[in-house]
Amino acid sequence: MANILIVEDEENMRNIIAAYMKKSGHICYTAEDGVDALMLLKSNPVDLMILDIMIPHIDGFSVCKVAREMSSMPIIMLTARAEESDKLKGYECGADDYTTKPFSPKVLLAKVNALLRRSSFEPREVLSAGKISLTPSSHKVFVDGEEITLTHKEYELLYFFMMNPGRVFTREQLLDRIWGYDFEGISRTVDTHIKTLRHKLNGEGKHIVTLIRSGYKFEVKV
Protein backbone atom coordinates (compact mmCIF):
# COMPACT_ATOMS: atom_id res chain seq x y z
CA MET A 1 0.00 0.00 0.00
CA ALA A 2 2.55 2.53 1.13
CA ASN A 3 6.15 3.01 0.08
CA ILE A 4 8.31 2.28 3.08
CA LEU A 5 12.00 2.95 3.38
CA ILE A 6 13.85 0.72 5.83
CA VAL A 7 17.25 1.97 6.91
CA GLU A 8 19.13 -0.64 8.91
CA ASP A 9 22.66 -1.96 8.64
CA GLU A 10 22.10 -5.46 10.00
CA GLU A 11 21.02 -7.52 7.07
CA ASN A 12 19.04 -9.99 9.07
CA MET A 13 17.00 -7.39 10.88
CA ARG A 14 16.42 -5.53 7.64
CA ASN A 15 15.05 -8.61 5.96
CA ILE A 16 12.75 -9.46 8.81
CA ILE A 17 11.26 -6.00 8.88
CA ALA A 18 10.91 -5.91 5.12
CA ALA A 19 9.21 -9.29 5.12
CA TYR A 20 6.62 -8.14 7.62
CA MET A 21 5.92 -4.97 5.74
CA LYS A 22 5.63 -6.76 2.42
CA LYS A 23 3.27 -9.28 3.90
CA SER A 24 0.99 -6.43 4.79
CA GLY A 25 1.03 -5.14 1.23
CA HIS A 26 3.59 -2.36 1.52
CA ILE A 27 6.34 -1.66 -0.97
CA CYS A 28 9.79 -1.67 0.62
CA TYR A 29 12.99 0.09 -0.21
CA THR A 30 16.00 -0.76 1.89
CA ALA A 31 19.17 1.10 2.68
CA GLU A 32 22.08 -0.01 4.81
CA ASP A 33 23.66 3.31 5.57
CA GLY A 34 22.86 6.99 5.78
CA VAL A 35 24.14 7.89 2.34
CA ASP A 36 22.09 5.17 0.70
CA ALA A 37 19.08 6.33 2.63
CA LEU A 38 19.36 9.92 1.48
CA MET A 39 19.85 8.88 -2.11
CA LEU A 40 16.78 6.69 -2.02
CA LEU A 41 14.78 9.43 -0.36
CA LYS A 42 15.61 11.80 -3.16
CA SER A 43 14.73 9.52 -5.98
CA ASN A 44 11.75 7.62 -4.62
CA PRO A 45 8.33 8.44 -3.30
CA VAL A 46 8.60 7.39 0.34
CA ASP A 47 5.54 7.47 2.55
CA LEU A 48 7.14 6.29 5.78
CA MET A 49 10.65 5.59 7.00
CA ILE A 50 11.90 3.11 9.56
CA LEU A 51 15.29 4.36 10.60
CA ASP A 52 17.99 2.78 12.71
CA ILE A 53 20.15 5.31 14.50
CA MET A 54 23.47 3.46 14.52
CA ILE A 55 24.19 3.25 10.83
CA PRO A 56 27.39 3.85 8.88
CA HIS A 57 28.46 7.13 7.27
CA ILE A 58 25.66 9.42 8.40
CA ASP A 59 23.80 8.66 11.60
CA GLY A 60 20.06 8.27 11.91
CA PHE A 61 19.48 11.60 13.62
CA SER A 62 21.00 13.46 10.71
CA VAL A 63 19.11 11.42 8.16
CA CYS A 64 15.94 12.17 10.10
CA LYS A 65 16.57 15.89 10.08
CA VAL A 66 17.26 16.00 6.37
CA ALA A 67 14.22 13.86 5.62
CA ARG A 68 12.05 16.16 7.69
CA GLU A 69 13.07 19.07 5.56
CA MET A 70 11.97 17.39 2.39
CA SER A 71 8.76 15.73 3.49
CA SER A 72 6.35 15.19 6.31
CA MET A 73 6.45 11.41 6.14
CA PRO A 74 6.17 9.56 9.45
CA ILE A 75 9.53 8.43 10.78
CA ILE A 76 10.06 5.59 13.22
CA MET A 77 13.44 5.50 14.91
CA LEU A 78 15.00 2.20 15.90
CA THR A 79 17.78 1.76 18.39
CA ALA A 80 19.39 -0.56 20.85
CA ARG A 81 19.82 2.16 23.44
CA ALA A 82 16.87 3.09 25.59
CA GLU A 83 18.36 6.24 27.02
CA GLU A 84 15.99 9.07 27.64
CA SER A 85 18.29 11.67 26.11
CA ASP A 86 18.39 9.65 22.90
CA LYS A 87 14.65 9.45 22.76
CA LEU A 88 14.33 13.16 23.25
CA LYS A 89 16.88 13.78 20.57
CA GLY A 90 14.91 11.55 18.26
CA TYR A 91 11.70 13.45 18.80
CA GLU A 92 13.55 16.72 18.43
CA CYS A 93 14.79 15.66 15.03
CA GLY A 94 11.20 15.23 13.98
CA ALA A 95 10.70 11.52 14.55
CA ASP A 96 7.22 10.25 15.24
CA ASP A 97 8.13 7.22 17.24
CA TYR A 98 11.14 5.80 18.99
CA THR A 99 11.30 2.03 19.28
CA THR A 100 13.97 0.21 21.24
CA LYS A 101 15.41 -3.12 20.23
CA PRO A 102 14.51 -5.83 20.72
CA PHE A 103 11.01 -5.26 19.50
CA SER A 104 8.24 -7.34 18.09
CA PRO A 105 7.89 -7.03 14.33
CA LYS A 106 4.15 -7.37 14.75
CA VAL A 107 4.01 -4.37 17.02
CA LEU A 108 6.21 -2.46 14.59
CA LEU A 109 3.79 -3.23 11.80
CA ALA A 110 0.89 -2.07 13.95
CA LYS A 111 2.74 1.18 14.61
CA VAL A 112 3.47 1.64 10.95
CA ASN A 113 -0.16 1.24 10.09
CA ALA A 114 -1.26 3.55 12.88
CA LEU A 115 1.13 6.23 11.67
CA LEU A 116 0.10 5.83 8.06
CA ARG A 117 -3.51 6.18 9.10
CA ARG A 118 -2.60 9.22 11.14
CA SER A 119 -0.52 10.85 8.43
CA SER A 120 -3.64 10.81 6.33
CA PHE A 121 -1.78 8.64 3.92
CA GLU A 122 -4.30 7.05 1.75
CA PRO A 123 -3.53 4.66 -1.01
CA ARG A 124 -5.88 6.64 -3.11
CA GLU A 125 -5.84 5.48 -6.67
CA VAL A 126 -7.82 8.35 -7.99
CA LEU A 127 -8.63 11.79 -6.66
CA SER A 128 -11.89 13.32 -7.68
CA ALA A 129 -14.00 16.40 -7.24
CA GLY A 130 -17.10 17.19 -9.19
CA LYS A 131 -16.45 16.08 -12.74
CA ILE A 132 -12.70 16.14 -12.31
CA SER A 133 -10.74 12.99 -11.69
CA LEU A 134 -7.01 12.62 -11.43
CA THR A 135 -4.97 9.44 -11.27
CA PRO A 136 -1.62 10.07 -9.63
CA SER A 137 -0.10 6.85 -10.89
CA SER A 138 -0.53 7.77 -14.52
CA HIS A 139 -0.75 11.56 -14.20
CA LYS A 140 -3.98 11.52 -16.13
CA VAL A 141 -6.73 14.02 -15.61
CA PHE A 142 -10.28 13.69 -16.81
CA VAL A 143 -13.03 16.24 -16.87
CA ASP A 144 -16.46 14.81 -17.37
CA GLY A 145 -14.96 11.64 -18.77
CA GLU A 146 -12.77 13.44 -21.31
CA GLU A 147 -9.05 13.31 -20.80
CA ILE A 148 -7.39 16.71 -20.76
CA THR A 149 -3.70 17.35 -21.15
CA LEU A 150 -1.96 19.44 -18.59
CA THR A 151 1.59 20.64 -18.54
CA HIS A 152 3.73 19.50 -15.67
CA LYS A 153 3.27 22.60 -13.56
CA GLU A 154 -0.43 22.61 -14.15
CA TYR A 155 -0.61 18.99 -13.13
CA GLU A 156 1.40 19.59 -10.00
CA LEU A 157 -0.77 22.51 -9.08
CA LEU A 158 -3.97 20.55 -9.53
CA TYR A 159 -2.54 17.53 -7.73
CA PHE A 160 -1.48 19.67 -4.82
CA PHE A 161 -4.87 21.27 -4.60
CA MET A 162 -6.69 17.99 -4.78
CA MET A 163 -4.48 16.50 -2.10
CA ASN A 164 -5.32 19.44 0.15
CA PRO A 165 -8.93 20.23 -0.52
CA GLY A 166 -10.53 23.13 1.26
CA ARG A 167 -7.30 24.57 2.56
CA VAL A 168 -6.26 28.07 1.68
CA PHE A 169 -2.78 28.67 0.31
CA THR A 170 -1.14 31.99 -0.31
CA ARG A 171 0.75 32.57 -3.54
CA GLU A 172 3.95 32.41 -1.54
CA GLN A 173 3.05 29.03 -0.10
CA LEU A 174 2.23 27.69 -3.53
CA LEU A 175 5.47 29.02 -4.97
CA ASP A 176 7.30 27.50 -2.08
CA ARG A 177 5.66 24.11 -2.12
CA ILE A 178 5.19 23.58 -5.84
CA TRP A 179 7.85 25.69 -7.43
CA GLY A 180 10.29 25.25 -4.58
CA TYR A 181 11.38 28.84 -4.51
CA ASP A 182 11.79 31.29 -1.77
CA PHE A 183 10.25 34.00 -3.75
CA GLU A 184 10.95 37.56 -2.85
CA GLY A 185 8.65 40.26 -4.05
CA ILE A 186 5.56 39.80 -6.08
CA SER A 187 4.95 37.44 -8.94
CA ARG A 188 2.00 36.83 -11.17
CA THR A 189 3.25 33.39 -12.09
CA VAL A 190 0.81 31.59 -9.88
CA ASP A 191 -2.08 33.63 -11.23
CA THR A 192 -1.19 32.78 -14.76
CA HIS A 193 -1.01 29.08 -14.07
CA ILE A 194 -4.29 29.21 -12.21
CA LYS A 195 -5.77 30.92 -15.21
CA THR A 196 -4.71 28.28 -17.70
CA LEU A 197 -5.60 25.49 -15.34
CA ARG A 198 -9.07 26.89 -14.84
CA HIS A 199 -9.41 27.29 -18.55
CA LYS A 200 -8.40 23.71 -19.26
CA LEU A 201 -10.69 22.43 -16.56
CA ASN A 202 -13.43 24.14 -18.46
CA GLY A 203 -16.56 24.55 -16.39
CA GLU A 204 -14.92 22.75 -13.50
CA GLY A 205 -12.45 25.55 -13.02
CA LYS A 206 -14.86 26.87 -10.45
CA HIS A 207 -13.40 24.43 -7.95
CA ILE A 208 -10.39 26.68 -7.69
CA VAL A 209 -11.60 29.53 -5.57
CA THR A 210 -9.86 32.87 -5.22
CA LEU A 211 -9.76 34.43 -1.79
CA ILE A 212 -8.77 38.00 -2.28
CA ARG A 213 -5.71 38.89 -0.26
CA SER A 214 -5.47 35.34 1.03
CA GLY A 215 -4.72 33.18 -1.97
CA TYR A 216 -6.49 30.22 -3.49
CA LYS A 217 -8.19 27.08 -2.34
CA PHE A 218 -9.70 24.05 -3.98
CA GLU A 219 -13.31 23.37 -3.09
CA VAL A 220 -14.58 19.88 -3.75
CA LYS A 221 -18.21 20.83 -3.86
CA VAL A 222 -19.05 23.61 -6.27
Residues in touch with DNA (CB under 7 A): 149, 151-154, 179, 187-189, 191-195, 198-199, 210-215
Look at residue 210 and give its three-state secondary structure.
Answer: strand
Q: Considering CB distances under 5 to 8 angstroms, the limit depending on partner class, which of DNA, a second copy, none binds residue 44?
A: none
41 or 194: CB nearest DNA: 194
Cα end-to-end distance, the chain, whole Å: 31
119 or 202: CB nearest DNA: 202
d(Cα 4, Cα 124) in Å, to the nearest integer? 16
Site string for a second copy, 54-93 (x = CB under 8 A): --------------------x---------x--xx--xx-
Binding status of residue 104 toward a second copy by CB under 8 A: yes
Q: Give the length of the chain.
A: 222
Q: Considering CB distances under 5 to 8 angstroms, the limit depending on partner class, which of DNA, a second copy, none binds residue 138?
A: a second copy
d(Cα 130, Cα 144) in Å, to the nearest integer? 9
Q: Considering CB distances under 5 to 8 angstroms, the limit depending on partner class, which of DNA, a second copy, none binds residue 107?
A: a second copy
Alpha helices in the chain (DSSP H): 11-23, 34-43, 60-70, 84-92, 105-118, 152-163, 171-174, 189-200
Site string for a second copy, 110-129 (x = CB under 8 A): xx-xxx--xxx---------
Question: Cβ(36)–Cβ(62) under 8 Å?
Answer: no
Question: Cβ(60)–Cβ(51) under 8 Å?
Answer: yes
36 or 97: CB nearest a second copy: 97
Round the CA-based radius of gyration of the chain to a whole number and report it. Answer: 20
Site for a second copy in 124-183 (CB under 8 A): 137-139, 151-152, 155, 166-168
- Label residue 50 exposed, middle or buried (CB < 10 Å: 0-12, 13-18, 19+): buried
Which residue ranges make up the site for a second copy (CB under 8 A)? 74, 84, 87-88, 91-92, 94-98, 104, 106-107, 110-111, 113-115, 118-120, 137-139, 151-152, 155, 166-168, 211-214, 217
